[in-house]
A and B are shown apart, each in its own frame.
Chain A
Amino acid sequence: KAGVTQTPRYLIKTRGQQVTLSCSPISGHRSVSWYQQTPGQGLQFLFEYFSETQRNKGNFPGRFSGRQFSNSRSEMNVSTLELGDSALYLCASSPWGGPGAQYFGPGTRLLVL
């Protein structure tokens, strides 16, 4: 099976712009979660989608949003980018959001100038 894929892998934006990141889960996986990784804050949970519904949300401002499509692919959007949004954004999928482990994609590295 193909693993979790994320596009783009690298992105450079300027403050005030918006960005959309994409994640395709492992085939058959219906749960997709997003995490932000920074040197200062470590790995932080952004949100989880399951069957096109947001099931959980982390403690991030409303500028961070996401959605999931009927084929389980997910996108996250960050509007009005700030310098502090520079991070590695990781997407993870799991079979049905139950007790299984999450499997991560390679991440999208976002640099905000």
Chain B
Amino acid sequence: AQTVTQSQPEMSVQEAETVTLSCTYDTSESDYYLFWYKQPPSRQMILVIRQEAYKQQNATENRFSVNFQKAAKSFSLKISDSQLGDAAMYFCAYRGQGTSGSRLTFGEGTQLTVNP
């Protein structure tokens, strides 16, 4: 079974600074998808960024980028120019191919605090 691990329960960053959230996963599949979701206090899960495993290029969405290391099974999220609105719980998620359908396996989450 696939597992996702986020080893940082909490992180903090100063406004306008850069922060990196870590995620590792375990899988025997060669094709899969990885995601970062953000859950603010409203509890609404918001997709931040996605990465297809077959793509070597790291995904980027404005201030958010990932460092995808397939061999190391590592998928970290970098937030540049942090803003107060970035404060939230961040979840790393894995989605396999084939019979697993759309099923997402989530990590434990990292609570990000942004200090003014």
Contact = CB atoms under 8 A, between A and B. Distances in A.
A99 B52 contact: yes
Contacts, number: 60
Interface stretch (B19-27, B64-72, B74-82, B99-107): B99-107
Interface size class of B (residues with CB under 8 A): 20 to 34
B25 to A, nearest CB: 15
Nearest to B54: A99
Contacts of B52: 99
Q: Is the interface of A mostly helix, strand, loop or mixed?
A: strand
Contacts of A66: none
B42 interface: yes
A26 interface: no
Interface of A: 31, 33, 35, 42-43, 45, 48, 50, 55-56, 58, 88, 90, 92, 94, 97, 99, 101-107, 109
Given A48-B101, A104-B37, A105-B44, 16 more contacts: A31-B102, A43-B91, A43-B104, A45-B105, A50-B102, A56-B101, A56-B102, A58-B103, A92-B102, A92-B104, A94-B102, A97-B101, A101-B50, A102-B47, A104-B45, A107-B44
